[in-house]
Amino acid sequence: MQLHLAAAVVLSLALLLPSSTTAHNITRILEKNPDFSSFNHYLTVTQLAPEINRRETITVCAVDNAGMSDLLSKHLSLGGIRNVLALHVLLDYFDAKKLHQITDGTALAATMFQATGSATGSAGFVNITDLKGGKVGFAPQDNGGVVSATFVKSVEAIPYNISVIQISSILPSPEAEAPAPGPSQLNITALMSAHGCKVFAETLLANPAEQTFEDNVQSGLTVFCPGDDAMKAFLPKFKNLTAAGKQSLLEYHGIPVYQSMPGLKSSNGVTNTLATDGASKFNFDVQNDGTDVTIVTKLVTAKILNTLIDEQPLAIYQVDKVLKPKELFKGVLPPSPAPAPGPDADAESPKPSKKKHKSPPAPAAPSDSPADAPDGDVADQTTNGAARFNAGGYAAIFFTLCFAFLQL
């Protein structure tokens, strides 16, 4: 009876212990192998990587750098590259074992390209066929059923969550490679100037970043434009940046996909920007704060105030602050106050000096948001420390009680 009671208590305590879930990260999986660096890079810049990370039960068909060179030689728009790579993301789990045990030898898999609604008919599907000699073939539905790539190897698998496999070449798809419908003739900077973002527009026109924005309109673009008051207040800091820093900061205010307001509200989380490039993350979080949508960096939290335009493939929103990336501003701290003189120094100087002493610098003014503080990561570290303490405390209680009941 006592043993049953002990077991019940131990089980109850086990349920109290913090549980952890394994979330996949396609970027980290692929960066282990340099052969996939180009594929990994374009998953990031096309915003497919965050979508892959948010999904479960998924298969990524990666190609090596040689295969990506074949794709890039076609000089597709960024939107076209996104569509092609989306065709390589299957909305089902296929590891090496399952590929060689396909029922009836063939399977039709939906892809992320099909899920976007950009593909017509069956163009967003891929046929997987178990071939002779132990090979597995892949054929896009709009490629006439011709097998255009074969399975090479498994890269990584988390059973029934994500499988990353290598295939021999890019899957050709006339539908995915077709240019996106051209947007209406819109002048981005003119729209900004006419709706309270004139200073940002003029700054953008004088910088190479303006061309980056223009190049992405056709494939989809969302801009977060600081209002005039916010941008004017920020200009002194902007002028102190290097040329590369100025361009990165401006590009940090755009993401290379079209996001309507409902889309922003439904796809909260980490978002890459036009400034994102490999190790230079330049990302931020999109969050909901009640009915408001906020853009959260490590240094500032900005709220969307107004919609300038929301017409696919372009959306421009006015925000109340300049978005400051930690890559450019982290570690820029106010000067430390001069140390106060010690008591001994006062004793040796009975007479006040006639020299004028400069007052120590005033402490930095409080920012508009707690996230504006350059050392905002301290709160995260404290929270993590508390979490580790709580986990350790639970574990200690758990093992102590286990030992006590085993003595009964």
Q: What is the CATH number of the domain that holds 32?
A: 2.30.180.10
Mean pLDDT of the region 144-154: 90
In a domain, 355, yes or no: no
Do residues 170 and 197 both lie within one domain? no
Q: What is the DSSP string of 210-224?
A: HHHHHHHHTT-EEEE
The pLDDT assigned to 56 comes to 85
The pLDDT assigned to 178 comes to 81
Do residues 170 and 229 both lie within one domain? no
Domain boundary among 115, 145, 177: 177
The pLDDT assigned to 244 comes to 95
Mean pLDDT of the region 207-225: 91
Mean pLDDT of the region 263-291: 86
Mean pLDDT of the region 349-354: 38
Checking if the pLDDT of 17 tops 50, the result is no
Q: Is 162 helix (H, G, I), strand (E, B) or coil?
A: strand
Give the span between the Cα atoms of 381 and 34, in whole angstroms: 32
The pLDDT assigned to 246 comes to 96
Q: Which residue has the tokens 């402490």?
A: 363
The pLDDT assigned to 236 comes to 95
The top-scoring range by mean pLDDT among 79-88, 271-280, 374-383 is 79-88
Range in 71-85, 203-217, 226-240 the model is least confident about: 71-85
The pLDDT assigned to 185 comes to 58
What residues contact residue 204 under an 8 Å CB cut-off, 6+ apart? 189, 192, 210, 213, 250
Q: Which residue has the tokens 């450019």?
A: 328
Q: pTM to 2 decimals?
A: 0.52
pLDDT confidence bin for 400, thresholds 50/70/90: low
Mean pLDDT of the region 137-153: 90
In a domain, 264, yes or no: yes
Count: domains in the chain: 3
**What does DSSP assign to residue 277?**
B
Do residues 202 and 317 both lie within one domain? yes
The pLDDT assigned to 404 comes to 53
Return the bridge partners of 317, or none: 224, 307
User: What percentage of the chain has pLDDT greater than the value 70?
Assistant: 73
The pLDDT assigned to 190 comes to 92
| Integer angstrom CA distances of residue 325 from 275, 297, 305 | 10, 6, 20
More confident site: 265 or 7: 265
Q: In residues, how long is the chain?
A: 408
Do residues 128 and 205 both lie within one domain? no
Domain boundary among 329, 349, 367: 329
pLDDT confidence bin for 263, thresholds 50/70/90: confident
Do residues 204 and 139 both lie within one domain? no
The pLDDT assigned to 71 comes to 94
Q: What is the pLDDT of residues 304-324, one digit of tens each?
A: 999 999 877 889 999 999 999
Q: What is the pLDDT of residues 27-70, one digit of tens each?
A: 999 999 999 999 999 998 787 888 898 888 999 999 999 999 99
Do residues 161 and 196 both lie within one domain? no
Do residues 214 and 298 both lie within one domain? yes
More confident site: 22 or 56: 56
The pLDDT assigned to 76 comes to 86
Give the span between the Cα atoms of 337 and 316, in whole angstroms: 43
Give the span between the Cα atoms of 129 and 33, in whole angstroms: 27
Task: Domain of residue 233: give its range.
Answer: 188-329
What residues contact residue 340 under an 8 Å CB cut-off, 6+ apart? none
Q: What is the pLDDT of residues 82-95, one digit of tens each?
A: 889 999 999 999 99
Do residues 228 and 278 both lie within one domain? yes
Do residues 104 and 245 both lie within one domain? no
In a domain, 148, yes or no: yes
In a domain, 349, yes or no: no
Domain boundary among 284, 306, 329: 329
Give the span between the Cα atoms of 144 and 122, in whole angstroms: 11
Do residues 114 and 252 both lie within one domain? no
The pLDDT assigned to 402 comes to 52
Give the span between the Cα atoms of 16 and 258, in whole angstroms: 43
